[in-house]
Amino acid sequence: MPRHSNLPSNVRAVFFDVDDTYFSHKLNRIPEGYPEMVSVPRNQGVFCALCTARSLELVENLMGSQLGKWDGMVAGNGAFVYNENLNILFEKTLSDQTVADLINTGEKHGAGFFVSGTSAFVFGDQIPVKPKLHSVHIEGIPEHAPGADDHLSVMSICHPDPLSMKDDLDQIDGLFVHYTKYSADISRNDLSKSEGISHLMKYWNLPDGDYAAFGDSQNDLDMLDHAACPAAMAESEPAVLEAVSTHVPPVEEGGIAAWMKKEGWIE
């Protein structure tokens, strides 16, 4: 299939982070023109996929009918990798002992939990927890304590002062912890978005680094670092803006679609 003349020859795939990259929380929707934007490289034989810390269930909950068709998805910061039919290509979740240690830590600090994996749920009735969770579109997801059938990829321990839990979390081996204003977001430290991407690139029979990537958070840095064409959103975390020289305009100025048009990737 012919490629667009201005699409770099070493960009054989494009990966999009979800929150405030492909989906705008400021607009509360996918920005206008983004689905059409994605269709252009796809129609030229370039694979396009989402790459997110969210579980598949949470991506579906966030986007609903706007989700559209993709060539694959990396979810849970690399814990799950799906093909174009959303069949699992790779899976590596938190161990039962790690989950138990995290629950004990959260309960010690009076925190609430938001968990994603093969299911997505919240438990704990702490007041600081639910307004934040509802602000990122998880109303309607059943709330229950974790059970034997729940395979967890990411745990967020929600607390008014997440860093107050740091000393205890540092005692638990094998974790990557991303501290935000509202939570400590926890995944395995032997996983990454770039590792998840490598599984999809192998599935597509493409060289590992022949992709473009768009992201905005610290957990996107490894994905961006391994990309042939990395780009950071204008409102990215400072560490991302410092590490990545290519910056994409804010959503209200056209976002990724405006950048791709300027670069000649789309008309």
pLDDT digits (tens, 9 = 90+) for 86-145: 999 999 988 889 988 998 998 899 888 888 766 667 776 655 566 666 666 566 666 777
Segment among 51-55, 149-153, 192-196, 239-243 with least mean pLDDT? 149-153
Q: Per-residue pLDDT for 234 more than 90?
A: yes
* Predicted local distance difference test score (pLDDT) of residue 63: 87
Q: Per-residue pLDDT for 197 more than 60?
A: yes
Q: How far apart are CA 110 and CA 87, in angstroms?
A: 37
Q: What is the pLDDT of residues 151-183, one digit of tens each?
A: 777 788 888 899 999 999 999 999 989 888 778
Residue 174 backbone zone (phi > 0: left; psi -120 to 50: alpha; other: beta): left
Q: Which residues contact 196 (CB under 8 A, 6 or more apart)?
A: 51, 74, 75, 77, 78, 79, 80, 81, 90
Q: How far apart are CA 87 and CA 93, in angstroms?
A: 16
The distance from CA 49 to its chain's CA centroid, rounded to whole angstroms, is 11
Q: Which residues contact 220 (CB under 8 A, 6 or more apart)?
A: 17, 51, 193, 213, 232, 240
* Predicted local distance difference test score (pLDDT) of residue 263: 93
* Predicted local distance difference test score (pLDDT) of residue 125: 60
Q: How far apart are CA 151 and CA 149, in angstroms?
A: 6
Q: Per-residue pLDDT for 149 more than 90?
A: no
Q: How far apart are CA 38 and CA 21, in angstroms?
A: 13
Q: What is the pLDDT of residues 59-88, one digit of tens each?
A: 988 888 888 889 999 998 999 999 999 999
* Predicted local distance difference test score (pLDDT) of residue 133: 64
Sheet with 73-75, strands from edge to edge, namely 88-91, 80-82, 73-75, 47-51, 13-16, 211-215, 229-233, 247-248
pTM of structure:
0.87
Residues 26, 251 contacting (CB under 8 angstroms): yes
Q: Per-residue pLDDT for 1 more than 60?
A: no
Q: Where are the beta strands (DSSP E) in the chain?
A: 13-16, 47-51, 73-75, 80-82, 88-91, 112-117, 120-123, 152-158, 175-179, 183-188, 211-215, 229-233, 247-248
Computed over every residue of the chain, the mean pLDDT equals 88
The helix (H) or strand (E) run that includes residue 96 is: helix 96-108
The pLDDT confidence band at residue 2, using thresholds 50, 70 and 90, is very low
Q: How far apart are CA 129 and CA 182, in angstroms?
A: 8
